[in-house]
Amino acid sequence: MHLRSFCGLALLCVAFGLPLPARAQYKNASLALDGAYSLITRPPVTDSNGAYLAIQNMPQRLAYGGRFGAEVNFKLHSDHWWFVARLNVPIYSFSTMGDDQANDPATYQYDQLADKELGKILGLQMMPGVRYYFFTDRTRPFAQLGISYMHLFSLTGQYSQNCVLGGGLCNDTSTTSALSYGDVFLPASNILSVHGALGVEFLLVRDIALTVTLDYQRWIFFNTTGNDVFTGSLGILFFG
């Protein structure tokens, strides 16, 4: 194509709002760094009579948190299909608000004590997944599915200490062993999840994009109610 013809085509594309081909679609890999915020559903810790559940049936009561993440992506057999490998480092908190104080004082007490004894909860999460891009030009909307494993850590020294609280929390008749604060307030430190996400990448300059993602994950437990986690993230992506 002659230079004059190319310039004419470019002007027509700009004039009529047609997308110009993006160089990023010819790349085979990318690296993304992002920050995120999560909201988590909180299943009840009491039964229909208002008594605390047995320790083996206690759900997770983490309420919200921030997250730093990094991912590497590799193109599969076409520009539309990519493999995703992600590492997240979330920091979660228990709820300290009084929304349950009047209607469910036992649950309110549980959350307050969990925050006091364990404080912030650090996580390390690894997720493989598959991403499909609907368009591969300068604006790249996508859908993604994945699975993850996460390990949780308490940032205080109370996690392994024997629980000495009253109110029936530390006196579970379903076990004969001494309960720690971790047993009571963080009943599952290893979590499997399934993920579904929608997002979009906006190519800013050559090989650099702004990425916005909404992620849903379901924490899976076999002995209690799971949690729904809703996460919004904003990041920068580099094609290579």
CATH number at residue 137: 2.40.160.20
For residue 211, tell me if it sits in a domain: yes
For position 175, what pLDDT does the model report? 57
Nearest to residue 219, comparing CAs of 69, 60, 63? 60
Distance CA 64, CA 61 (A): 10
For residue 3, tell me if it sits in a domain: no
For position 162, what pLDDT does the model report? 83
Coil, strand, or helix at residue 3? helix
Number of domains in the chain: 1
For residue 23, tell me if it sits in a domain: no
For position 14, what pLDDT does the model report? 38
For residue 146, tell me if it sits in a domain: yes
| Cα angle for residues 226, 84, 82 (degrees, 5° grid) | 125
Instruction: With cut-offs at 50, 70 and 90, classify the pLDDT of residue 105.
Output: confident
For position 98, what pLDDT does the model report? 64
Q: Average pLDDT, stretch 157-177? A: 71
For residue 223, tell me if it sits in a domain: yes
Among the listed ranges 28-42, 43-57, 127-141, which one has the minimum average pLDDT value?
43-57
For residue 15, tell me if it sits in a domain: no
For position 17, what pLDDT does the model report? 39
Global confidence as pTM? 0.84
Residue-wise over 38-75: b if at least 16 C-beta within 10 A, else e? bebbbbbbeeeeeebbebebbbbbbbebebebebebeb
Enter the DSSP assignment of 177. Answer: S
In terms of residue numbers, what domain contains 192? 28-239
For residue 22, tell me if it sits in a domain: no
Instruction: With cut-offs at 50, 70 and 90, classify the pLDDT of residue 71.
Output: very high
For residue 6, tell me if it sits in a domain: no
